[in-house]
Every structure is written in C-alpha cells, then in structure tokens.
A and B are shown apart, each in its own frame.
Chain A
C-alpha cells in the first residue's frame, strides 16, 4: 500500500469511527489494519503475550472512546503508536518489579532458543534479543521503533514527543551497547 492509499484508508476509517451508525464497522477495519504492527510493537517492549494483549486492547479501546478528540494533526498510525507506547510506559511504571521480570523473561527467551538442539540461527537471535533487553527503557523503545518498525526519526519524534537529535543520540547509544554486548558474549 502506498502512502497515499494509506492516507485514504485512514481517512475512511476515521469517517466511519466518527459516524455512530458505522462506528463498530470502522473499529473492526481499524483493528484489521493495525492490530499486527501495534501488537508486535508492544510485545517487543513488554515481552509477555498476556501483557501485550491487554495493552493492545487498551490502546484500541482508547481510540474507540476518544476518536472525537483526534484532531488529525498526525497520521492515524502515529496516534495509535503514541497511545500504545504510553500504555507500555504506564505498564513499566505500574510493574515495579519489571526490571527483575525483564531479566527473567530475557533469560527464558534465551534459554528456550539456545538449548542443545537449537539451531545456530536461533541462538544468534536469542543473543540479539537479550542484548536489546539490557537497554534502558527509552533506548529500547527508540531502537525497536527504528530497527523493527523502520520508522523515520520525524515519525518517532511525533510518537515519543522528542527531538530528532535526542532520538538519534538514543539510537546511537543503544546500537553501541548492543554491539558491545554481542562482542562480550560471543
């Protein structure tokens, strides 16, 4: 889908969401288009499927309830990502033991994939994920958005309400830390 087509579809979805008679159909269409990228964005941040499911649902419920307040000054997907990222940040704050939990989850992921019968590619993948999990929250969010979601710094700036230079710095530090981790654990 080209950028223009995405804009057309988004505008159609918004029109449906703002029309009480077509709100439910519009919501289903919105979910159909964005549930996968939003889920994976959240899942890479919170790791657990249950948490990711809760946050995904909360994100779309927020959109359903507050669609009238969407001013249209950014793309629909930018708004969705912003809500989802804010929900993830809230989740981190709520879960005070998150750091410990993160460590356990990271080890679990690495353990599952780096067993005796695991393929080399899976071991490498697990090591890479563990390296990402070592990063501080902001750097991890920035790295994931840039690396996996392939967002531009301008789009990330709109989502995270940060300057481009700050995001570039965060990405640079994150990359350096990951590289160092991979070298140290080679």
Chain B
C-alpha cells in the first residue's frame, strides 16, 4: 500500500532522532511470527457482511420493540395522571357540596333561632376555614355570611327601611 513516493513524504516528517529509533530494530524486520488459517482472508468479508446485516435486523427489531414499550408506557402514564387529576377534582367538588349543604342547613336553622344563629355561623366559619377558602363563593353563601354578621335589631331596621324606601326595590338601569 505504501509507495516509494509516500515513503519519501513520510520521511520528510521524521526527525533524525525518530529515524535512529526506527533503525535500531532494522535487523528484526517487520515480520511477525503469527500464523493465519488458510483461506481466512478470502472468506472473512462475506462472513462479516452477513453478521453486520443480521445485527442490523436484530437492532431494528429491538428498536421497534423499545419504541412500542415507550409508547405504551407514555399512554399508561398519561392515563394515570388524567385519572388522578379527575379523581382529585371530583373529591374537591364533593367536599364543597358537603360544606355548602352544611352551611345552608345551619343558616336555615339559624333563621329560626336568630340570636343563636349569628354565633353558630361564626363558629362554622372558624371550623372550616380551609374548605371555605378553597370554595368559590356563590351568591347565596355571600348573602348568608353578610346576614349572619348583623344583629336582630339591625335586620329589623333594614326590613323597615326596605318597606319605606321606594328606590330600594327598583332595578338598576
């Protein structure tokens, strides 16, 4: 493979010290004592090509298998996350409904017992602060809370004012 011209070009790159080192072993030559089985170099190319193609096929199959596994795992993960999110959301809604109905019933009871109702609504609000803070306030809840803060006298005064003032019941334009 190496021609005299190539050898000459290589020689230019060598420094004299390297050349001396290479010449040190000139008497031993480039021959090696190792033997190669007969016909080895004639058959190795075809053999290696077959092996390479086989490896490529196996690798292709493995790649497809791993891609399928990865896709299935991703779907399972998405389904699990979706299920968890939905479950948690439903749980929150049911909690809110329970709190709301509890508040509603308490408020109705308080309508009968006006003086006691004010205190109980405040206690209930203290008992369920976390749940109340999570809940979106609805119209009825807001009114119940506002009314619970008034005393009986104040409520009576407001009712009298509502009857006497002609502009309170008028709708906004």
Residue positions of A touching B, CB distance < 8 A: 1-3, 6, 24, 27-28, 31-32, 35-37, 39-40, 43-44, 47, 49, 53, 56-57, 60-61, 64-65, 109, 112-113, 122, 124-126, 128-129, 146-148, 150, 152, 154, 168, 171-172, 175, 178-179
Would you give the shortest CB distance from B48 to chain A, in whole angstroms? 5
A124–B28 contact, CB under 8 A? yes
A31–B30 contact, CB under 8 A? no
Residues on B with C-beta less than 8 A from A56 are 44, 48
B45–A28 contact, CB under 8 A? yes
Residues on B with C-beta less than 8 A from A122 are 33
Q: How far is the CA of A47 from the CA of B36 in the complex (A)?
A: 11
- Of residues 35 to 73 in B, which have CB atoms within 8 Å of A's CB atoms? 35-37, 40-41, 44-49, 51-53, 55-56, 59
Residue positions of B touching A, CB distance < 8 A: 1-3, 5-6, 9-10, 13, 18, 21-22, 24-25, 27-37, 40-41, 44-49, 51-53, 55-56, 59
Find the B residue at minimum CB distance from A154: B13
Residues on B with C-beta less than 8 A from A6 are 1
Q: Main SS of the interface on chain A?
A: helix
Beyond A28-B45, A53-B44, list 8 extra A-B contacts (CB 8 Å): A3-B9, A56-B44, A61-B51, A64-B52, A124-B28, A125-B29, A125-B32, A171-B18
A40-B32, A129-B33 known; A1 and B52 CB under 8 Å? Answer: no
Find the B residue at minimum CB distance from A65: B56
Q: How far is the CA of A113 from the CA of B33 in the complex (A)?
A: 8
B45–A35 contact, CB under 8 A? yes
A172–B45 contact, CB under 8 A? no
A1–B3 contact, CB under 8 A? yes
Residue of B6, B30, B37, B49 near A148 (CB, 8 A) is B30
Q: How far is the CA of A124 from the CA of B10 in the complex (A)?
A: 28
A3–B6 contact, CB under 8 A? yes
Would you give the shortest CB distance from A22 to chain B, in whole angstroms? 13
Q: How far is the CA of A60 from the CA of B15 in the complex (A)?
A: 34
Residues on B with C-beta less than 8 A from A57 are 44, 47-48, 51
Would you give the shortest CB distance from B113 to chain A, in whole angstroms? 83
A1-B1, A40-B32, A113-B33 known; A64 and B44 CB under 8 Å? Answer: no
The 3 lowest CB-CB distance pairs between A and B, nearest first, are: A64-B52, A31-B45, A128-B28
Residues on A with C-beta less than 8 A from B55 are 61, 65
A147-B25, A152-B10, A175-B24 known; A61 and B48 CB under 8 Å? Answer: yes
A2–B3 contact, CB under 8 A? yes
Q: How far is the CA of A35 from the CA of B13 in the complex (A)?
A: 27
A126–B33 contact, CB under 8 A? yes
Would you give the shortest CB distance from A45 to chain B, in whole angstroms? 11
A125–B1 contact, CB under 8 A? no
Q: How far is the CA of A99 from the CA of B53 in the complex (A)?
A: 34
B34–A37 contact, CB under 8 A? no
A35–B33 contact, CB under 8 A? no
Residues on A with C-beta less than 8 A from B53 are 24
Would you give the shortest CB distance from A181 to chain B, in whole angstroms? 12
